[in-house]
A = this chain, B = another copy of it.
Amino acid sequence: LLNEKKIIELKKRITDATYLASVLNMLSWDQEVMMSPKGAELRAQTVAAVSGLLHEKILAINHDALLTNLKHLVDQGKIKNDDAVIVKETWRLYERKKKLPDAFVREMAETISRAFTIWVEARKKSDFKLFQPWLEKIISLKRKEASYVGYSDSPYDALIDEYEPGMTTKNAEAILEDLRNFLVPFIASLKKRKKSLLPKIKGKFLIPDQIKLNNFIAEKLGFDLSAGRIDVSAHPFTTNFNPHDVRFTTSYNDTNLWVALGATIHETGHALYEQGLSAKHFGTPLAEAISLGIHESQSRLYENIIGKSKAFWHYFYPELKKRFPQLKKISATDFYESITRVEPSLIRTESDEVTYNLHIIIRFEIERALIESKLKVKDVPKVWNEKVKHYLGISVPDDAHGVLQDMHWASGGVGYFPTYSFGNLYSAQFYKTMERQIPNLSQKIADSEFKPIQIWLGKNIHIHGKRYSAAEIIKKVTGEPLTSRYFIDYLKEKYGQK
């Protein structure tokens, strides 16, 4: 009984912290979607204040050694099942925070805040030299962070662990090298597919009509608009305040339908994960997504495997034609070709699902080398450009189209990039199993019957929260650890020479 009371008290403390985390999500959503420009400065101060409070709340969870105490009981096997998950996951979060001295956290926050502003300017001027001292500072701080957190093999382990708990540098390297070794020759061998036809279509796609279409597709896929919203922001994203209030954004272009469609289908994948989490367990790790990689697997599964399939457009392309008569003369085949073209390009976020992974591998190799002190920051643009040439076969004209294109490093995100590719790999591996377990899956998609997919993902992944780690869930669901094989098979099947 005493242990039960302790667990109840722990749940209360972490739920209180979760309310603050959800408020931070709201402040950030509002800033991107609603806030007028002059609100920025005082909003930043509000966010800093609430973040500080959340930090305090998390540290205070263990002010009387309640958590340490419970952790011992778990280690001794005296607390089991869901309660053990709550204790272990809370301990992981708490321990990582606890290990970082306040002065370090402050220095990191200040550095990132300034570095980000400088990065914006450097990218505008396409001048890496401007950003270089700040990236040096960030890398040195991230190395320091790794040493505070601790690691046995590579300091990069301690960083990747924040985004993909349990993943190691060695494991990531093995998986991504396999992938790279397949992709480089595969892409070289592919004839260029037809270029997108959509931008050539005359006339405009009115935004209000596009909004109706995107909402229609998101709802068809299973997004519950009575438990969330779809809005517009410069960069599409998904956030959740709780499983009953999940919001995502998309971004419209009135001459290119695909800009919004691609984003909407991708974000719907994220949003279905968030709406699939347990409201009953809100506030605890049992109602939290497993990792960035698993989260990304949901969005990639919908965006690429489902959303760029012939079956999907079998149902939706007639809908598009009905809503946009401009498409009358474009055949379903041409439309499909246009959304599945493969072509090496400079900008990661605009790249196709095949070449995308090489963009990630380049970033992974560079950031790992930086953290392991095998590469100097000043040499990064040279190495970047060489790798782009080597892997993708194209030349980088300037830093803005090369090393300065992403905000991740400027925001202190090191170890984050590989989770994007893990997402692709997980998604193909999950889908392979789903195909075995849901009869006539492809036909169901062609009939716009998406409920079985949502139910399958819900019961196999969403509802568990953090009950299993990423490594455990992929094994549990597919019977194997994460491998690049299924993704490679998927690409071969979809894009290989027939």
Contact = CB atoms under 8 A, between A and B. Distances in A.
Interface of A: 15-16, 19-20, 22-23, 26-27, 30, 34-39, 41-43, 45-46, 49-50, 53, 224-229, 241-245, 279, 282
In the A-B complex, the 8 residue pairs with the smallest Cβ-Cβ separation, listed nearest first, are A39-B245, A38-B227, A19-B49, A42-B242, A38-B244, A19-B46, A39-B244, A36-B226
Nearest to A243: B42
Contacts of A35: 245
A42 B279 contact: yes
A366 to B, nearest CB: 39
A41 B245 CA distance: 10
A34 to B, nearest CB: 7
Contact of A43 (B20, B36, B46, B241): B241
A227 B39 contact: yes
30 contacts: A16-B49, A16-B53, A22-B46, A23-B23, A23-B27, A26-B27, A34-B229, A36-B225, A36-B226, A36-B227, A36-B229, A36-B245, A37-B226, A38-B224, A38-B226, A38-B227, A38-B244, A39-B227, A39-B228, A39-B241, A39-B242, A39-B245, A41-B244, A42-B242, A42-B244, A42-B245, A42-B279, A43-B241, A43-B242, A53-B53
Which of A16, A224, A241 lies at the interface centre, i.e. has the most chain B CB atoms within 10 A of its CB? A241
A241 B36 contact: no
A243 B41 CA distance: 11
A23 B51 CA distance: 12
Copies assembled: 2
A208 to B, nearest CB: 10
Nearest to A34: B229
B19 A241 contact: no
A124 to B, nearest CB: 23
A279 B36 CA distance: 15
A470 B17 CA distance: 39
Nearest to A227: B38
Given A23-B27, A50-B23, A42 B282 contact: yes
A53 B54 CA distance: 11
A61 to B, nearest CB: 15
Given A23-B50, A36-B225, A39-B241, 16 more contacts: A19-B46, A20-B49, A22-B46, A23-B23, A23-B46, A26-B26, A26-B30, A36-B229, A38-B245, A42-B242, A42-B243, A42-B244, A42-B279, A43-B241, A43-B245, A46-B242
Contacts of A26: 26-27, 30
Contacts of A45: 19
Contacts of A279: 42
Name which of A15, A26, A37 has the most chain B CB atoms within 10 A of its CB: A26
A19 B50 contact: yes
A226 B242 CA distance: 30
A282 B39 CA distance: 13
A120 B46 CA distance: 35
Contacts of A50: 19-20, 23
Contacts of A241: 39, 42-43, 46
Contacts of A43: 241-242, 245
A225 B242 CA distance: 30
Nearest to A22: B46
A42 B16 CA distance: 12
A193 to B, nearest CB: 40
A253 to B, nearest CB: 22
A224 B228 CA distance: 29
Nearest to A224: B38
Nearest to A48: B19
A35 B34 CA distance: 13
A23 B226 CA distance: 23
A219 to B, nearest CB: 13
Contacts of A243: 42
A16 to B, nearest CB: 6
A22 B50 CA distance: 11
Contacts of A19: 45-46, 49-50
A228 B43 CA distance: 12
Contacts of A16: 49, 53
Nearest to A52: B16
